[in-house]
Amino acid sequence: MKFKDRVWVVTGAGNGIGRELTLQILLRGARVAAVDIDEKGLEKTREQAGEHGDRLSLHVLNITNREAVKDLPGKVVAEHGTVDGLINNAGIIQPFLKINDLEYDAINRVMDINFYGVVYLTKAFLPHLLERPEAHIANVSSMGGFLPVPGQSMYGASKAAVKLFTEGLYTELMDTDVRVTVIFPGAIGTDIAVNSGVAGDMDLEAGGEDVGSDPLPADEAARKILDGIEQDRFRVLIGSDARTMDFFYRLAPKRAAHLIFNQMKSLLS
């Protein structure tokens, strides 16, 4: 589905890939409802939108608050008249710890934001999207959602849940006018570690997976994501590392797991 003259909702729009998605969607001629818990971050996004800011609305929201999420579609429709697309991008990583050392509060926080936030937003907007002649839902999983990364096991579990949730949604909506895309970023240069409250652990969007390639700039990642959505693609792999490891893990999962362990074990010592 093309972006021009459509209304899109983007979560995590106050920084990183979410900000770049928002800015580039505006450049493609659409309106955007930008969602984030960080009000200052959203204001920065508006500032960077410049002359396109008249097509942008800001919505400060904790996506783990189900009741607050239920109210969001009405606010977006009141602001923009309708809604045509949803990109569930917001997410965090976990502290770089083994499961044995990870506190339950951290486990719950990762699952609430990365998985349940996606579920809540999807449930809230799907009735509206089903009424449109054409609509789209895109959910951001991760390379860590199909490849095990030691020290990020709960992050990976949350993103694997997003993967299968999105794939299931795709099958449920095949006979409707709502298209569905699942996105798998590899290493992306963002401030996700800082925004997740685990600064110093890692600085990669995909949870720190490093298989020898440099992080992809966030603006380039956003462009590839939007191109994939416009092409109504089922799966979008972002970065050479994600493409390589997707193939390798399906071909030889045990060997791939050992490779990742050898790459990451120094961070666990």
Residue 229 belongs to domain with CATH number: 3.40.50.720
Q: Backbone phi, then psi, for 208, in 5-degree steps? A: 85, 10
Rounded CA-CA distance 78/137 in Å is 20
Catalytic residue among 104, 116, 120, 155: 155
Considering the domain boundaries, does residue 242 fall inside one? yes
> If 0-12 CB within 10 Å is exposed, 13-18 middle and 19+ buried, where does residue 267 land?
middle
Q: How far apart are CA 145 and CA 154, in angstroms?
A: 10
Q: Is residue 260 part of a domain?
A: yes
114 located within any domain: yes
What is the pLDDT, as a whole number, of residue 269?
61
Whole domain around residue 213: which residue ranges? 7-268
Calpha distance 67→87 (Å, rounded): 19
Q: What are phi and psi of 252, to 5 degrees?
A: -150, 75
How far the first Cα of the chain sits from its last, in Å, is 47
Residues of the chain with pLDDT under 70: 190-213, 269
Residue 84 lies in a domain: yes
Q: Is residue 43 part of a domain?
A: yes
Report pLDDT for 199: 54
Active-site residue, 120 included: no
**Number of domains the chain is built from:** 1
Sign for the pseudo-dihedral over CA of 168, 170, 175, 178: positive
Amino acid at site 153: S
Q: Are 215 and 204 in contact (CB under 8 A)?
A: yes
Q: What per-residue confidence (pLDDT) applies to 265?
A: 82
What's residue 189's pLDDT? Answer: 77
Whole-number pLDDT of residue 153: 97
Asked whether residue 224 is domain-assigned, the answer is yes
Q: How many CB atoms lie within 10 A of CB 206?
A: 35
pLDDT of 70-129, one tens digit each?
999 999 999 999 999 999 999 999 999 999 999 999 999 999 999 999 999 999 999 999
For residue 2, tell me if it sits in a domain: no
Task: Flag whether 69 is in a domain.
Answer: yes
3-state secondary structure of 269: coil
